[in-house]
Structure 1
Amino acid sequence: MPETAERIEISQLGVLEAVLFAAGNPITAAELARILQLDVLGTQNLVAELKSDLDRRHSGLTIRQVAGGYQLATRPEAFAIVERLSEVVDRKISAPTMETLSIVAFKQPITKAEIEQIRGVRVERALQKLLELELIAEVGRKNVLGRPILYGTTETFLRCFGINTLEDLPELPTTEEAAAGLDAEQMELFQEVQQLQSQNDADTEEQEAPMAHDDMPPAE
């Protein structure tokens, strides 16, 4: 007769680790608490304990706080080796597309025309690529003439860049800091961009301003 497999009792830490592994994507403390039948504070303490346990035993995994939730992820030190496991389609983002993504991330919500004013080139292909990768999405319409589409980043963006919230993005340098390291040609381009942005802000304010009573069209 075959031997009966010994039943293994799994600790709360083991159960939490299994849930995070099975989830794949980030899962909130509230959702974990519901699954584990614990309160939220107890769940957060358990997550912290599991992270410490993974660190203590030099595991190749760690817990990241991403997109408002917790995710079991490969430790950065092991990524180069893990990467050899799969031969996937190259989904690297080109430099122009990354520039467009950076503008959306720091200036969102933002329209296509506003991105093009900052970059100085057309961005249809870059926007389409970012939409396909689900790094950005349409988040509304700007309340100006023509009601152009507004773009913003997504939870996929947060997960890909290991960011919990948009507040975790690094601060942009001030105008003075940005201009300090430019040569004469770069400074001229920088000033042109500043003028374009100032003009765009002025146009937006004019389009969004309510019409004065004297400017109202006569009633039919």
Structure 2
Amino acid sequence: MFHDYLQGSLEALLFAAGEPLTVAQIAGIMQLDKPQVWELLTLLEESYNEENRGLCLRKVAGGYQLCAKPQHFELLKQLERVQEVKLSAAAMETLAIVAFKQPVTRSEMEAIRGVKVDGVVNTLVDYGLICEAGRKDTLGHPILYATTDKFLLTFGLDSLKDLPAMPEDDGSGEPEQISLLDSLRDEAINENTEENTKDDGAV
């Protein structure tokens, strides 16, 4: 009975969090050992795998989150609670460069895009999709940029290792990188229909 109580407590915790929680976070909040948390997560996942359950347990951004099952996406869209992260073409192109070539400096982004990126980079930083990741050991020590956990969450990735593999660079790879990010984002929007993203509007 107490084990059932713990499983219910974990379910309530994940529901209330609204964002992925790591095993360490769950263990700290519930005052359990990590092996106990793993066991509870496994049991919870098994219970959600039943056909009549509307939710599923999903691993994303290094943590665990409750999400709606794909068969309910159309129904949930009627609530208009799912807001797509809308990025301009310039922002998506710059984000693709950071995602696939990180850590990268502004000048390196500009060399690839052929235009200034100051405004777009600042906006992506404000949006929480990229962040400063140290400085490059070259003249002037320019700031390096990398993607964030919010980037992983937005694009439905558990880690950067889940980014699609890119073919060898032939000088025309950026459009394909952007297309890959677009596809990832579309999948993440569907898979995260339980998340009410506060940010809206093109950047």
1:116 is aligned to 110
Match of 1:94 among 88, 94, 98: 88
1:27 is aligned to 21
2:128 is aligned to 134
2:64 is aligned to 70
Q: Distance in 1 between matches of 2:86 and 2:100?
A: 21
1:56 is aligned to 50
Percent of aligned positions that are identical: 46
SS of residue in 1 equivalent to 2:49:
helix
Give the 3 Å change call, closer, same or farther, for CA 77–104 of structure 1 in structure 2.
farther
1:144 is aligned to 138
TM-score, normalized by length of structure 1? 0.69
1:45 Cα deviation from its structure 2 partner: 1.9
1:89 Cα deviation from its structure 2 partner: 7.3
SS of residue in 1 equivalent to 2:20:
coil
SS of residue in 2 equivalent to 1:31:
helix
1:91 Cα deviation from its structure 2 partner: 4.3
Q: Distance in 2 between matches of 1:25 and 1:124?
A: 30
Superposition misfits of 4+ residues, deviation over 6 angstroms: 87-90
Comparing 41-50 and 73-82, the one that deviates more: 73-82
Give the 3 Å change call, closer, same or farther, for CA 83–126 of structure 1 in structure 2.
farther
Q: Distance in 1 between matches of 2:81 and 2:60?
A: 26
TM-score, normalized by length of structure 2? 0.74
2:11 is aligned to 17
Q: Could you say which structure has the larger radius of gyration?
A: 1
Q: Distance in 2 between matches of 1:169 and 1:12?
A: 34
The amino acid that maps onto 2:27 is A
2:76 is aligned to 82
Match of 1:41 among 35, 40, 48: 35
Give the 3 Å change call, closer, same or farther, for CA 42–89 of structure 1 in structure 2.
closer
1:47 Cα deviation from its structure 2 partner: 0.7
How much is the aligned-residue C-alpha RMSD, in angstroms? Answer: 2.4
Q: Which runs of 5+ in 1 are unaligned?
A: 1-9, 180-188, 192-220
